[in-house]
Amino acid sequence: MSICGEFFCDEFKIAGKDLISCSAFLVEKFWFEKNFTILYPKLSVPVVLKWGIDRNKFPSKLFHGRKQYRCDLHYPTMLGNHNITISTYTCACASGYKGNPYLPQLHGCQGISTSLGALFLIIGGWWSYKVIKKRKRMKQREKFFQRNGGLLLQQQLSMAEANVENTKLFNQKELEMATNYFHVNRILGQGGQGTVYKGMLADGRIVAIKKAKVMDEGKLKEFIDEVVILSGINHRNMVKLLGCCLETEVPLLVYEYVPNGTLFQYLSDQNEEFPLTWDMHLRIAAEVAGALFYLHSVASSPIYHRDIKSLNILLDGKHIAKIADFGISRSIAIDQTHLSTLVHGTFGYIDPEYFRSGQSTEKSDVYSFGVVLAVLLTGEKAVSSTRSPATKSLASYIISSMEENILFDILGNKVLKEAKKAEIVLVADLVKRCLYWNGRNRPTMKEVTMELEAIQMSRNASNLEQDYNEEVEFVRSEVYIQSCDTSK
């Protein structure tokens, strides 16, 4: 297919004068004959360009009998003064069709209604796919919700006391949005029970979302019962459980976010910007002990943590201690062995009696707390390969040091510098009693709390007395100086 067009300029006269040179230009014929009398330097004229497909080269077979094309034959046209004439065709899409009429082999003109129909078909198919996929997700969420005890939890919460009314059943979508679909950059920590993510809810609250690894369906009722119990706990030294999501394969637990990391990090890194003083060591120990006493004796039913350690003690913006991962972790774990042999905990903190029997009691938490207290006293890790095999665990290390009367040799410089000898002895004796192998000989968390608070009160009173004496001495010095000046 080709398009032909040639333009020629003939010699002519303007105003009775012969033109020396001739210019070639395109101009509408009738306008030229009527208006053109003199050549202006900046003359603008209308131009008409006609073109078509050479009749001899026109592929008529492609267009014959096809209603979507409209082709017109034009009369022979003379090209310049060469006496060459050709007949041409021009084509367009018929009414109701659109496209390029000169490309019939590449779909050319197509019906508008057909295109719209195809478009609507595609949109309809996509919408149907989205609807089906959404319904499938909804059914899956409903399945997980029922399997994870959602109906039972709703019933329990409706029957519970008013202090659990703020406990929320979160949906999967809002927790996915809060954590950027559980992006790896949102991970706060990982452990044997699951992964904890940092998230921001729609109302702007920062939360910690724990995603468990697996769920033991046989322990479902116990899990629901503990969610209800922990939802009703409102203790300043325990991380608050805000709610859970049961629409996922495994439950998601939503806790308040505690910003300043773990006690383990502070003791390991020796934070220079905010170092923990001996007074803070005593306060943190008393706060953790008080929280465990609350769980054991004050809560509506006893709750045993079973994994007390420095990693599970968090510090908030004011460096107040908060226990995390208490109680509920045992309901999320799954093991194919017999429950009597299932032992939870962290090596170095596990009660040896619990390890032997597989039965956890409140005294198991007392033992683990004794290890935490030993960590605060010595600055040592619960387990260290740098110590001898016999003293690899801190529990064995501190007890043997006390028996050999070399306790002060293993204490940190800060403790030796800031703590009084009597306070160290009292705390070390408490550690020793918490670490007794026979659980019945260990003190209760109530007794531990009372002893630590007594040490704190004694230290505070001593500090006040020291401050008073220093102030009195300062006043005496001022009076003496003034009297000397007066005598002069």
Closest by alpha carbon to 326, among 357, 359, 288? 288
Residues 264 and 271: their CA atoms lie apart, in Å, by 11
Q: What does the chain come to in residues? A: 488
Q: Residue with structure tokens 């619990």?
A: 354
Q: Residue with structure tokens 């020291």?
A: 466
Query: Which residues are CB-neighbours of 197 under 8 A, at least 6 positions away?
Result: 179, 182, 186, 187, 188, 208, 209, 210, 211
Alpha helices in 86-202 (DSSP H): 112-147, 150-159, 172-178
Sheet holding 206-212, edge to edge: 168-169, 241-245, 252-256, 206-212, 194-200, 187-190
Number of alpha carbons in the 13 Å side-chain half-sphere of residue 274: 12
Residues 132 and 368: their CA atoms lie apart, in Å, by 52
Which residue is catalytic, options 54, 72, 269, 307?
307
Question: Around Cβ 386, how many Cβ atoms within 10 Å?
Answer: 7
Q: Which helix (H) or strand (E) holds 109?
A: strand 109-111
With beta carbons less than 8 A apart as the criterion, state whether 419 and 276 touch.
no
Write out the two tokens for 152: 């039972």
Query: Which residues are CB-neighbours of 180 under 8 A, at least 6 positions away?
Result: 186
307 carries an active-site annotation: yes
Instruction: Please list the active-site residues.
Output: 307
